[in-house]
Structure formats: C-alpha cells, structure tokens
Amino acid sequence: MMKKNIKHLINLNKYSNEEILELVKLGEKIYNSPKDYSDICKGKIMATLFYEPSTRTKFSFESAMLRLGGNVLGFSDANTSSVKKGESVADTIRCISHYADIAVMRHPKEGTPKLASMYSEIPVINAGDGGHLHPTQTLTDLLTIHKYKGSLENHVIGLCGDLKNGRTVHSLIKTMARFNTKKFVLISPEELTLPESLKRYLKDSCDIEIEEVRYIEQVIDQLDILYMTRIQKERFFNEEDYLKLKNSYILNNEKIENGKDDMIIMHPLPRVNEISYEVDADKRAHYFDQAKMGVYVRMALITKLLEVE
Amino acid sequence: MMKKNIKHLINLNKYSNEEILELVKLGEKIYNSPKDYSDICKGKIMATLFYEPSTRTKFSFESAMLRLGGNVLGFSDANTSSVKKGESVADTIRCISHYADIAVMRHPKEGTPKLASMYSEIPVINAGDGGHLHPTQTLTDLLTIHKYKGSLENHVIGLCGDLKNGRTVHSLIKTMARFNTKKFVLISPEELTLPESLKRYLKDSCDIEIEEVRYIEQVIDQLDILYMTRIQKERFFNEEDYLKLKNSYILNNEKIENGKDDMIIMHPLPRVNEISYEVDADKRAHYFDQAKMGVYVRMALITKLLEVE
Amino acid sequence: MMKKNIKHLINLNKYSNEEILELVKLGEKIYNSPKDYSDICKGKIMATLFYEPSTRTKFSFESAMLRLGGNVLGFSDANTSSVKKGESVADTIRCISHYADIAVMRHPKEGTPKLASMYSEIPVINAGDGGHLHPTQTLTDLLTIHKYKGSLENHVIGLCGDLKNGRTVHSLIKTMARFNTKKFVLISPEELTLPESLKRYLKDSCDIEIEEVRYIEQVIDQLDILYMTRIQKERFFNEEDYLKLKNSYILNNEKIENGKDDMIIMHPLPRVNEISYEVDADKRAHYFDQAKMGVYVRMALITKLLEVE
C-alpha cells in the first residue's frame, strides 16, 4: 500500500541544504508579496491531527493554509476525537488521505508521524513527536534568522538556558551547523550543558568553534544571534541550585546592554519569565516576529509539498 | 508595544451613540442585502479565543465571519488548548496578531479582553468576560429592537425576571437609556429587583421614568417591548419563596393576552422554562429572531473593525 | 413553528428507491468530475453538531462540504460546548437555523435528529443516533457497491461477523433488499446471528434467498460482495467461546483464496483486527475506498438537500 513520489516533512535531516534554503527563500518571498499566493491552495484541504494540544502550532499551520486560500479540518485533542478507538495510525492516515490533501500530525509518541507517512497517500508534516523532532519550529527559526540577519551563514550564535534538554535547541544547532556557522556560544548552568555527543559532532564533524560559558554577560558583545530558552525548575537537582541560578538566566535590559546593535534576540515561545517584559521594547527583540515567520515558512512548506507553486 | 489606531470593542460605553447607531443600521443593511457583503472579508481570518465554552456566541461570530467571506480558526475550551501553559494573555494576543486579522475573546475573568486589547496589533472583540460585560449581546438586542420596532427611541420597555443579577439586562438598560427610552417597567420579585444605584442613575442622570411591579399582568398593556430573563432557583433565599413565585415569572399566552399587537417579546436565550413553548407561535415572539440578528450585527461589527466596508 | 418543504435525511426508509439511486448516481458523477461541483456551495455553511465524538464521520461531512466550496462550523463533543446548559434540542436547532444552511447531527440518544428536524428551518442530516440509524454509512456502502460492482442489483452479498448487533449491517441489509439482491449469505457464530425478525422480513416480505453458515470458507466462492464487521469480545457469553471462535472471523489471504476475482471486500471501519493487514494489498479489498466514497455520497446528499445542483 506504500505510495511513491509523495514528499513529506518528518525530519529536516532528510532535506538537502538546497531544499531547506529554497523553503526559507520562498517563505520570505511569500512574506514580501502575500497576494500572489492568496489563492494557490483554493480547493485544497489540510487535516490537522493533533493527538496532543498545541494551540500555537496548530494555529500557525491553519493560518498558513487559510492564507493560501485553502481549507482546514482537524482535531486538537485525541480525547474529544474517536481516534482513540483502537484504530492503527496506518489505517487512520489512509482514511484521512481521502478527506484531505495534506496532513499535519502532532503526536506524543516519537516516530508516529514517520509511521503515518509510510502509509499515507498525501504529504505528512511532522508538527512535533514527543521530545523528538519539531522540524517546522527549526524552519521558523531559520526564516527569522534569514530575514533579520540577511543570510543563514557566518553568524556567532549564542544559545542560552537549558541546552541539555529540549529538541528545539538541538535541532536548531544541528541544522545551522550545515550553513557555515562561525561559532556557537553555549551559555548554561553546569547541570544543563549541551550533550557531549553533540559538542563532539560540532567540533569533529563540522569543524565549528564552540565556546562554553556560564553567564550571558561574559559573551554578549560577540553575538549576532541570542537564542533564549526556558529553564524548568524540575531540571535542577535541588531547589537551592535553582534559586541561586535562575536570575542569571532571566534576560533583561542590563544583560543585553553591551550586545551588538544588530544582534537579534530569539525565543521559541511561550516564555514564562525567562525574558523580562522590558526587553520587548528593544528593537533587537524578535521573538514575536518568529511567530509571524512561522506562518510564512509553513506557507512555503505547504506550497512545496502540494506542488501548487 | 502598544499599538495605535486599532479599534476594539471591549465596552459599549466607549462607543458614541452615533457609532452604536451606525453599527445597528449597517447590520440592518447587511440583513437586507447580504450578497453585497458576502466577499468583503475574503482572505481575512478571525481567531475565536474561547477560554470557556459558549457555543451559541462562538457560532454566531463564526457564522458572521464566514458569511462575509472570511475564515475562522479558534478554540472552544482552554483545557483542550495549550494556552494554559502559563503564558500571559499579553504574549498570547501578540502571537495571535500574526495568525489572524481580528480576535474574539471570551474569558471567565473580568477585564481579560481589555488587557488583551492593550497588547494586540489586531482588533479585539469582547465576547463576554465573566459576569462583567457582553457588548455584542447588547448590540444584538439593539438591532432586534431597531428592526422590529423601527427605531431605538421612545419605547416603553418591560424587563422581567432576575433584574438584580445578570449583565445582559444591566447592559441593555444602560445602553437603551442613551436612546431616549420613554419608560422602563421593572417586573421582578422583591428579592431580585434592579440595583438601587442603577435605578438612581436612570432617574437622576437620565431623567427616565421607571415603574416597579411584581407581576407581568399589571403592566402588560403598556409595553412596547417585553424582555424576559431567567430566574435561577439558587438566587432565592429559600425554596418556599422560589416555588411560590416561579409561576409568576413563566410567560404564557394568558399573561400576554392584553399586550399590544405590536409589542415584541425578547429573551437572550437559552431559555429553560421561563417562556412556555405555546408562546413561540405568537407573532410577537422574537427571541429566535434575536439569534438571527446577532449574526447580522456581528457582521456589521467585523466589517467596521476591519475597515473593509 | 414546524416548517414545510424542507427535506431532511433522518431514516433511509423515507427515501424512495429512485431518490436513493439518484443520490448514488450523483455521488458517482461528482467523483468523476469534481471540478464541476467545487464551487456550488459557495457562501453556504454547514453546522456539524456532534454530541458525541466521531472523528471519521465528522471529517467526511466536513470534507464533503469544503470540496463543494462551502464552509463549516461545529462542535465535536457536547462537553466542550455549552449545549449541555439545559436547552432543548428544539431551541438549539432553531438557533442553528440562523447560523447555518444545513445541519449534521450525531447524538447518543435515539430519535434526537428526528426531533430536531421537526423544529428546524434548515435541512438536518442524521449522522448517527445511538445504536439506531446511520443512514449516510449505508449510502456510503451503496455508492461503493455501485461504483465497484457497476450496479446495486443481483448480487450475492456475504455478511460476516456480528450480525446480531450493529446498525450498520441491519441498515445495509434492509436497504439492499429493496434493490433486487439475489441472495444474502449470513456468516456468524451462533451467538451473533441475524435477528429472526429481520430474517423473516427478507424471506417473507422480500422473497430473497438467505443462507446461514458458520465459516467464511464454506461460501467464499459464491460471493459478489463480502461485508466484514467487527466481533466485540463483550458480545460473547464466555471468554472460552470467544477464544475458540475469533480466529474464524479474522479475514486473511487464505480465507479469500477461493473468492471470485471480482468480489469486493468491504468493512465500515475502523477495524481492529478482523481483517489481517496482508489483505490490504489484495485488489479486491475496498474498505479504504469506502472512506473515499463516503465523501462523494455526502457531497451528493448536501447538493440535493441544499438544492444547489
């Protein structure tokens, strides 16, 4: 029953640099002339299959499809759907293939979107599978960098917070490493440093310089990009360590004072308290622009996968 | 981050009489020639953010947007959405601003839509915030009155049931008081009379006659409009009082026998048992027409806020 | 308040053979030239009122409406909607009549869609009411048979599994009996045979031959259609019986080896384990095509009820 010639997006590592760059550039092109794309998905239907809730991601995909002139059907929680009746994902996607032209799947279990794509007669997009992959978040980050820094290449990229856990940061690092990143600056408490294997990969396989520090202020002046992430209290071994450290990882105006004028500050959102509200007014803050770019890069992705360009 | 020049609807008291009348008249115009408006929101997206369920209100907004040629995305319950993850409403609306062109918010907490509007880059409509405000219900009532009575002015308006609690009735009274209401007739049990402050406001600030009675039959012959509301059992001090009184506040054919021929009977719906089913067949019953007018006045509101007219 | 001249679909037994055949043929016509129908519901709204979840059925209806150029609003679970507030179905549908142009209702309580249709000002489609009726599933089966067997008439139809319970099978039998079925072959364990009343009806009123057997292999060579259903463990008196029998009712390649070349295998889905995955690759397997045909026959039904053809 497996179909041929259908393109999916499950894992960015199956996309060539050219394909990734093409998506990023198409996203920027759509951003610059949205009217040219406002009807190209007329008559097409996207199914958003969210086996766990993720309002932001779901809205971003739906907005993208609607802005291309297409339509949307879906569910946002497997509990209010009958998909829990015991049907296999293989059977579900084969039915969905008849209801829709493209499917977006979020699933708590790693590998489920991959499995679905093997049985699907329509393109499947992985919108997050457990702690594993979330490729359209990475594409969002890439379009943001491309748009606000002019290129994906030759940046000094600071990553701050919990670098041990979190698919967002690992995926961003691995993907940016493919685009001649000048240097990664890793800013985290000792308990939450980037895994050794990933550091070794960057150094040995990619030959990219990395620098590890504990505090933002130590390196702020050299960064082109500062990517913030949330530190969850639960990640610490004890409350004392957490209380001692947390203020070091809350970004505020003081900490970015010595940053470059054209540095951009990013965050995958939602934030809780890791960036002070005062920073929002700084022209270098681009985390809400990321939400915007997320729509455009998804418009590009849908356009490519549906081959309607 | 606060944006300028974006018009919201949070509280009707920020709208001038002229603006309100303009909305009502536009609603009637759209009702009379819907085809002229069936495409004016093409390419626009409405986000319906319902942090508590309200199917009727949500459907009314969605129907309005779809009938204008626009599209809709949204959630109907914060529990099946990820908005409960601890993100602030300010951050949520700033992201939504990139996914949609207009936002409709229902929230259990008073003041939340107001707060959201302060950070939003798109128009925000308050679709009910706790027991506080529900301005589009009042606009719905106004369009119904305007359509079926020809004007908003010079009416004798009877309000029956629980006049103590209930934002719907208070908001209607305050708004109609701005349009030369001839007289308010307040029909309620002693326990559930209109708050003193509001009565004083009507008499002293607005110079409008008010009459308070216990039973519909006493005043039915003078009313141009009879606005029914539900009396909840829990509002009474004791069960005995409730049982004694409840039949007095259930509208039936007998009670409206002496009403004027062109009186209109209204109710915000849903009703439980406060209007007998037999009344539905009376040509003066207009509570289902209210549901219809609710769509048209919302179409007018969306049209105005999006400036697509 | 009851309206005249509005056509609903509550029970297929109110539709003439001609009307049913017209729907089936229109479904096939739309399948063959979908472009001709892709805009005929422009500006129309369907309300999907699912008082219990049924993702597959809901998606099928929504896909149908979207593929006709119409729009959709709805809820998928009465718990996340406010319809549980105690409003009668009569009042709900009278309001919905103002929000939408056609309503699809799924309800756990038998007879509720029928009741709604009596008060509705728009067409109501029964999308399943308890264990009672599910007429669009039967229409789906009919279109599948018509498309893949060329006609509804003169077939030897094998029905296998739980023939005692299950509205799907009973409804299919009763409807196919109206179209000159040559013979029904009933394949089930003794505990789950077709009800006597239905067997008598087929023999006495319809004069159709029926044959009852225990095992698929006994009759596979004479079947034009093999309709599989699920056997639920709970239906058996004891676990021992279940374990002894269940393998007899799991379809695999071996069991269909002697089946005709142009036999079609159907199943209403979802399946759990009653058809082995190996059968999926057999060209006679048409259960996923049923999902596809379900969309087209619903497109036909919507087209007819909205009179937009």
3-state class (DSSP) for residue A104: strand
Q: pLDDT tens across B29-44, in order?
A: 999 999 999 999 999 9
Question: Is the pLDDT confidence value at A282 over 90?
Answer: yes
Write the CA distances from A161 to A196, A240, A299, C260, integer angstroms: 16, 17, 30, 66
Q: What span, in angstroms and rounded, lies between the C-alpha atoms of A109 and C96?
A: 38
3-state class (DSSP) for residue A167: helix
Higher pLDDT, C97 or C233: C97
Cβ contacts of B87 within 8 Å, gap of 6 or more:
A269, A270, A271, A272
Question: Is the pLDDT confidence value at C164 over 70?
Answer: yes
CA torsion sign, B8 to B13 to B16 to B20? positive
pLDDT in the model for residue C85: 60
CB contact under 8 A, C270 and A87: yes
CB contact under 8 A, A60 and B94: no
Name the CATH superfamily for A12-133+294-305: Aspartate/ornithine carbamoyltransferase (3.40.50.1370)
CB contact under 8 A, A272 and B87: yes
Q: Model confidence at A261, in pLDDT bands (50, 70, 90)?
A: very high
What is the Cβ-side half-sphere exposure of residue A139, based on CA atoms within 13 angstroms? 37
Contacts of B91 in chain A (CB under 8 A): 269-271
**Which pLDDT tens digits describe chain B residue by residue (309 residues)?**
445 689 999 999 999 999 999 999 999 999 999 999 999 999 999 999 999 989 999 999 999 999 999 999 999 876 655 555 678 999 999 999 999 999 999 999 999 999 999 999 999 999 999 888 999 999 999 999 999 999 999 999 999 999 998 789 999 999 999 999 999 999 999 989 999 999 999 999 999 999 999 999 999 999 999 999 988 777 777 888 788 777 889 999 999 999 999 999 999 999 888 999 999 999 999 999 999 999 999 999 999 999 998
pLDDT in the model for residue C191: 87
Residue among A96, A84, A85, A87 nearest A45 (CA): A96
Contacts of A47 in chain C (CB under 8 A): 59
Q: What is the CA radius of gyration of chain C?
A: 20
Q: pLDDT tens across C4-18, in order?
A: 689 999 999 999 999
Name the CATH superfamily for B12-133+294-306: Aspartate/ornithine carbamoyltransferase (3.40.50.1370)
**How far does the CA of residue B120 sit from the closest CA of chain A (Å)?**
12
Phi/psi of residue C69, nearest 5 degrees = 90, 5
CA torsion sign, B23 to B25 to B28 to B29? negative
Q: Find out if CATH 3.40.50.720 is the number for domain A136-291.
A: no
Average pLDDT on A231-240 reads: 77
Q: pLDDT tens across C238-264, in order?
A: 888 788 777 889 999 999 999 999 999
Question: Is the pLDDT confidence value at C79 over 70?
Answer: no
Q: pLDDT tens across C91-120, in order?
A: 999 999 999 999 999 999 999 999 999 999
B223 annotated as ligand-binding: no
What stretches of A15-166 adopt beta strand conformation (E)?
45-50, 71-75, 102-107, 124-129, 156-160
Name the CATH superfamily for C12-133+292-305: Aspartate/ornithine carbamoyltransferase (3.40.50.1370)
CB contact under 8 A, A76 and B81: yes
Question: Is the pLDDT confidence value at C82 over 70?
Answer: no
Q: Which residue's structure tokens are 């504990």?
A: A214
pLDDT in the model for residue B82: 55
Q: What span, in angstroms and rounded, lies between the C-alpha atoms of C88 and C92?
A: 6
pLDDT in the model for residue A57: 96
**How far does the CA of residue C185 sit from the closest CA of chain A (Å)?**
27
**Reported ipTM:** 0.94
pLDDT in the model for residue B1: 44
Where in chain A are all domains bearing CATH 3.40.50.1370? 12-133+294-305, 136-291
Question: Is the pLDDT confidence value at A81 over 90?
Answer: no
Q: ∠B60-B64-B66 over CA atoms, to 5°?
A: 115
**How far does the CA of residue A94 sit from the closest CA of chain B (Å)?**
25
Neighbours, chain C (3 or more CB pairs < 8 A):
A, B
Question: Is the pLDDT confidence value at A77 over 80?
Answer: no
pLDDT in the model for residue B77: 75
Residues of A with CB under 8 A from a CB of C: 1, 43, 45, 47, 71, 73, 75, 80-83, 85-87, 90-92, 94-96, 98-100
Q: Are strands C71-75 and C45-50 parallel, antiparallel or unpaired?
A: parallel
Question: Is the pLDDT confidence value at A163 over 50?
Answer: yes
User: Could you name the CATH architecture of C136-287?
Assistant: 3-Layer(aba) Sandwich (3.40)
Higher pLDDT, A285 or C84: A285
Q: Which amino acid is residue C25, in one-letter code?
A: K
Q: What span, in angstroms and rounded, lies between the C-alpha atoms of C50 and C75?
A: 6
Catalytic residue among C44, C58, C107, C134: C134
Question: Is the pLDDT confidence value at A41 over 90?
Answer: yes
Candidates B75, B83, B95; nearest CB to A288: B95
Question: Is the pLDDT confidence value at A1 over 50?
Answer: no
Catalytic residue among B58, B67, B107, B134: B134
Question: Is the pLDDT confidence value at A60 over 80?
Answer: yes
Where in chain B are all domains bearing CATH 3.40.50.1370? 12-133+294-306, 136-291
Percent of chain B topping pLDDT 90: 83
Contacts 24+ apart (CB under 8 A), B3-7: B3/B120, B3/B121, B6/B117, B6/B120, B6/B121, B6/B122, B6/B123, B7/B123, B7/B304, B7/B305
CB contact under 8 A, A288 and B94: yes
Q: How many Å from the N-terminal Cα to the C-terminal Cα in chain B?
A: 28
